Amino acid sequence: MMIETLVSTEAQELLYQLTALLEQELRCQPKASGLRLIEAAHDNGLRMTARLRDFEVKDLLSLTQFFGFHAETFSLAVNFLDRFLSKMKVQPKHIGCVGLSCFYLAVKATEEERNVPLATDLIRISQYRFTVSDMMRMEKIVLEKLSWKVKATTAFQFLQLYHSLIHENLSCERKKYLNFERLETQLKACHCRIMFSKAKPSVLALSIMALEIEEQKLLELTEALEFLQLHSKINNRELTFWKELVLKCLTEYSSSKCSKPNVQKLKWIVSGRTARQLKHSYYRITHLPTIPETTS
């Protein structure tokens, strides 16, 4: 029972964190009107489109996998990118520089300093043609347009909290059925579609969580989930709307229709000479993020 669990000090602390996140949630989100403009734009090579944005985000996901960065870093990079794109008219030729600048800002904000790559290496591995000074200039523009607010609330933070709170309600032998790595990968897949940036981060996170609970038939979590929905002030219509979209996205993602991030391409770029020049610490390649099966 969720109510019993909430007596524990740890759960109280998590709920306190959740309340704080919910209060800050709307402060640093992309402009919905700006995102709709991108979605409506035609692919004429002159304007930013949803396809170009999604393609860029998939590239950033490849880099996240390549460097072994946290999902939180990726989620924050997507927040920066969409906030910038929803405010500014970005020409397609500049999307690479904008995307990588947002990614680098997110890396510096969340990763440990010793794991932060040099800008030159990041550009080289991404195979972009711009220089470090181009990227530094772009970083400054991005920061100004984000009003220097780099502590945004992301769907990843909500997913982490919801998982911690709900996990408590499972018996030891059933905890393995609610796998955080699997939820994290599902969130990454959603981030690769611009439409999910129009959802409130809490709603996106709870939709992913609710679908997974249904998928794994964890009926004992129904009450706990309803409690979180109530606490997060998310109505049924909104939750159902986004759950349907998430389900559609994940179904396509796990079928071959959806292009998964191309880590193979990155592995190939880092050939002998480059690898020797790179600091050993960030020559860590992880595998493609296929959604892990849960242990049956």
Judged on CB neighbours under 10 Å (0-12, 13-18, 19+), 127 is exposed
Q: In whole angstroms, how large is the CA radius of gyration of the chain?
A: 19
**223 and 193: one domain?**
yes
Alpha-carbon gap, residue 288 to 9, rounded angstroms: 38
The tokens for 114 are 């010793």
Alpha-carbon gap, residue 183 to 209, rounded angstroms: 7
In a domain, 188, yes or no: yes
In a domain, 200, yes or no: yes
* Domain's final residue, options 112, 146, 180: 146
In a domain, 264, yes or no: no
- Residue numbers of the chain with a pLDDT score lower than 70: 1-7, 256-296
DSSP string, 201-231: HHHHHHHHHHHHHHHTT-GGGHHHHHHHHHH
Q: How many CA atoms lie less than 13 Å away from 228 in the CB half-sphere?
A: 32
Q: What is the predicted pLDDT for the residue at 260?
A: 54
In a domain, 19, yes or no: no
**138 and 163: one domain?**
no
Q: Which amino acid is at 31?
A: K
In a domain, 189, yes or no: yes
Cα dist from 197 to 27, 126, 167, 169, 235, whole Å: 14, 24, 26, 30, 18
In a domain, 270, yes or no: no
**129 and 39: one domain?**
yes
In a domain, 88, yes or no: yes
**192 and 248: one domain?**
yes
Cα dist from 48 to 56, 63, 95, 98, 296, whole Å: 11, 22, 8, 12, 44
pTM score, two decimals?
0.84
**160 and 142: one domain?**
no
**Which tens digit of pLDDT belongs to each residue from 179-189?**
899 999 999 99
- Residue 106: which CATH number? 1.10.472.10
**103 and 208: one domain?**
no
**140 and 167: one domain?**
no
Q: What is the predicted pLDDT for the residue at 147?
A: 85
**Which tens digit of pLDDT belongs to each residue from 144-184?**
998 888 889 999 999 999 999 998 888 888 888 888 999 99
In a domain, 109, yes or no: yes
Q: What is the predicted pLDDT for the residue at 293?
A: 58
The count of structural domains within the chain is: 2
User: Could you tell me the residue range of the domain that residue 196 belongs to?
Assistant: 155-255
